[in-house]
Each structure stands twice: as C-alpha cells, then as structure tokens.
Homo-oligomer: A and B are copies of this chain.
Amino acid sequence: MTAPRAPRSEDSKTRNALLDATLQLMVEEGYAAVSTRKVAAKAGANPALVYYYFRTMDELFLAVFRRGAEANLKRMRGALVAEHPLRAVWEVSSEPTHAALTMEFIALANHRETIRAELATYSTRFRQMQEEVLVRALDTHGIDDDRFTPSALVVLIGGLSRSLAVDRMLGLTAGHDEVRSLIDECLRHFEVPVEQKNSTRATLTGEEAPD
C-alpha cells in the first residue's frame, strides 16, 4: 500500500553515489549517522535528490540492503562451484564489511518492521544456499554426523563469523586464535580428496562417531 510513483532508473550515477555514501556512513559511523544531508554531502549531491531517488529514508536503507544482499548471494553462488566450497562459504560469511553491515541492519531491524522483514527473507535465502553447499560437501566426504546437521552448521557458521567480527570491533581478541584454528581444522577436512578418506561413517571432528 505504499508505492504509486514512477520508478527511477536503477543505473543512475547519482543514485549509485547516494547508495555508496549511505553504505560508507553506515559502516563508519553506524546507521544513526545516516541523514539526508550527510548522505548528500558525502555523495557530492543535493540533499533533495535523496527524495527524488528514494521516497523515504527507509527506502534508501532498503535499497542499500538489497544491493548488498544481491552481491552476497552472488558470492555465495560462487561458493557452490568453488574448489573448496565449505571454506568459500566461511569466507563469504566472514567478510569484514559484510559482518559490520549485517550488524547495522540487525540493529535497524529491531525497530523498523520493513527492514526486519527484508532481512529475514534475505537471511533465509542466504542460508538455504549455504545448506545446499553443506549437504553436498558432507555427502561427498562421506560425513554423516547426526549432531552436526547441515542446518545446524549453517547457524554455527553465521553466528561465529558475526561474533568474531563484533569482538574485533570491540578490540577483544582473547581466544580468537584458538577458535580460528579450530575452524581451520574443521575446514581442512573438506579439502582432503575423498579417495584418501577411509571411513563410511566419519564425523566432523575427525573421530569415529559414538554408538
């Protein structure tokens, strides 16, 4: 019930500059620092143009989010065919700007319903792709652990990459080396060619599953 207006060209130079400026402001100073004037100033454009291209600030945020989301989904599609898919998934999730931006949008989502909804549908798609990668990777390597199911791993990967990013931002690094090498060890399991593995019932942690 909101949009009786002619859509603006999506590949306008100004429009993109405004999106870039918004993105940069969000990462550097947080979403609360985003305002018509600041965005326009950073983009070298006139403040009124924000409302020409995006009807409201909410739509500006949504446009920034969608652009980033599409880029991430594209990267995730790349992970599907990468040499080491699981490592690729981890790296996409761990990208610093991705993590920082996700945090900002999560905070925004807490009190803007439109953004909450968009974030939820995007996350679902993002995770579905990850799950695809995982199902294939686990299958290829003959790993079948009732506890570390694909959907559980998706939650673990996303949660861990995000919290490592938050810690870094706060300047907390205790335990990070251990966690990183833990993850690295885990990922390395999937870089071993299948022929070299002998088990029919291996587990993610590299030990025989208990009965």
Contact = CB atoms under 8 A, between A and B. Distances in A.
A210 to B, nearest CB: 6
Given A147-B182, A162-B159, A178-B147, A110 B152 contact: no
Interface in A141-180: 147-149, 151-156, 158-160, 162-164, 166-167, 169-172, 174-176, 178-179
Nearest to A148: B182
Interface of A: 29-33, 100, 103-104, 106-111, 116, 119-120, 123-124, 127, 147-149, 151-156, 158-160, 162-164, 166-167, 169-172, 174-176, 178-179, 181-182, 185, 203, 205-210
A120 B147 CA distance: 33
A107 B163 CA distance: 13
A29 B109 CA distance: 10
A185 B149 CA distance: 14
A122 to B, nearest CB: 10
Nearest to A171: B120
A166 B106 contact: yes
Contact of A151 (B166, B174, B203, B208): B174
Contacts of A205: 203, 205, 207
Nearest to A205: B205
Contact of A116 (B154, B159, B170, B181): B170
A171 B181 CA distance: 32
Given A30-B111, A103-B106, A147-B182, 20 more contacts: A29-B110, A32-B32, A104-B107, A109-B169, A116-B170, A116-B171, A123-B172, A127-B174, A151-B174, A152-B178, A155-B164, A155-B167, A155-B174, A155-B178, A156-B160, A156-B179, A158-B163, A160-B163, A162-B162, A207-B207
